[in-house]
Amino acid sequence: MTTGGHTVPVNALLAVVAICGVSASGPLMAATAAPALAIAFWRNAAASVVLAPITLVRRRDELKALSPRGRRLVVVAGLMLALHFATWVASLKLTSVAAATALVTTQLVWVMLIDRIRGASVPLQAGIGCALAIAGVLVVSGFDFTVSTRALVGDGLAVAGGLFAALYLVAGSAVRTELSTTAYTAVCYSVCSLALLVAAVVGGVPLTGFSAHDWMLIAGVTIAAQFLGHSILNHLLAVMSPMIVSLLLLLEVPLAALLAGVFLDQVPHAGVWVGLVLILAGLAFVVTRRSSDEPDLVEAPRVD
C-alpha cells in the first residue's frame, strides 16, 4: 500500500468494506431462486445505469484519451468479469456455498501463475504466505466437496470462476493507470452487462418474472457486492497489486460461511475460526515479508 499521509488507513478501511460486501454475495445469491445469469446480469446492469451517466458527464475526457491498449484491456476486463459471474453464480446453484466460495478463491493461485507466465518472480515468502492462506480456505470449507456429478460440475465452475476473476484483476490493474475508478467501473460493468445479456438471450434464460423476495435479494447483492464490494476493489487495484487483492479476497471464505449461517441456517463449524487465523497469518506473512523488488503500488495510479 502507499505510505503517504492517511492513504494506508483509508485503503485498509476500504478493503474491509469491500470484503464484507463481496462476502454477502454467495449466501444472498444462493438464496435467490432466479437463474444464475439473471442474477449476474441485473447486479451489473443496475450498477451500470447508476455509473454510466456520471461517467459520460464528468469523465468523458478520460474515455476520449484512453489509449487503444487501454480500450482493449477494459473490454477484456469486462468480458472476464462476465465469465466470472456466469460460472461462479452457477456453481452456487450446484454445490455448497462453502465449497463454491473456497474454490473461487483459487484466483490467487491463477494470479501467481499468470505473473510467472509474464516473467514476474514470486518470492518464496509470498509462496509460503499464500500456502498458509489457502490451507485456511480448505479448513473453512471443511473439504466440503461432495462426490456427485452435480457437485463436481459446480466445483469445476467455481474453479473456472477463480480463473476468470484472476484475469479480470490482472487486466483491470493494467488499465487502472489510465482511468479513474468511476470511469473504469462504469465501462467494465457496461461491457459485462452486455455480454451477460447476450448470453441470457442466446441461452433462453428469463430475466424477469421473479418474486418480490428474489428481487429484494438481487437488490441486496447489487448494493452489497457490486457497489460496496467490486467497485471498491476496482479502486484498490490502482494502489495494490492483483496478488494482494486476491489474498484479501480469501477473507471472503470465513465471512461467507458466517453469513450463510445467518441467511441459510448453515451453522459455521469451529474450523471457520481456525481457518480465519490461518488466512490472516498468510496475509500478514506476505504483506510484511514481501521483497522490495515487488511493490504493491501500480505505476502512476488514477485514484480520483
Judge whether residue 76 has pLDDT over 90: yes
Q: How many residues can be counted in the chain?
A: 304
In 3D, which of 304, 298, 87 has the Cα closest to residue 195?
A: 87
pLDDT in tens, 233-259: 878 877 787 778 877 777 777 777 777
- Given the C-alpha cell 456455498, which residue does it identify? 97
**Enclosing domain of residue 45:** 7-289
What does each C-alpha distance from 30 to 20, 37, 198 come to in angstroms?
17, 13, 23
In this prediction, residue 282 carries a pLDDT of 76
- Given the C-alpha cell 442474477, which residue does it identify? 39
150 within a domain of the structure (yes/no): yes
> Is 220:24 a contact under the CB 8 Å cutoff?
yes
Grid cell, residue 1, equals 500500500
Judge whether residue 45 has pLDDT over 90: yes
Judge whether residue 276 has pLDDT over 80: no
Rg value, the chain, Cα: 18
Tell me the mean pLDDT in the region 73-97.
89
247 within a domain of the structure (yes/no): yes
Distance CA 120, CA 243 (A): 12
50 within a domain of the structure (yes/no): yes
pLDDT in tens, 167-220: 998 898 888 888 888 899 899 999 999 999 999 999 999 999 999 999 999 998
Count of domains for the chain: 1
270 within a domain of the structure (yes/no): yes
Judge whether residue 82 has pLDDT over 90: yes
31 within a domain of the structure (yes/no): yes
Grid cell, residue 288, equals 510484511
112 within a domain of the structure (yes/no): yes
- Residues 6 or more apart in contact with residue 74 via CB below 8 angstroms: 66, 171, 175, 179, 184, 187, 188, 191
In this prediction, residue 298 carries a pLDDT of 35
SS3 of the chain: helix, strand, coil, percent, to 5: 75, 0, 25
237 within a domain of the structure (yes/no): yes
296 within a domain of the structure (yes/no): no
Q: How confident is the model at residue 268 (pLDDT cuts 50, 70, 90)?
A: low
Name the amino acid, one letter, at 18: A
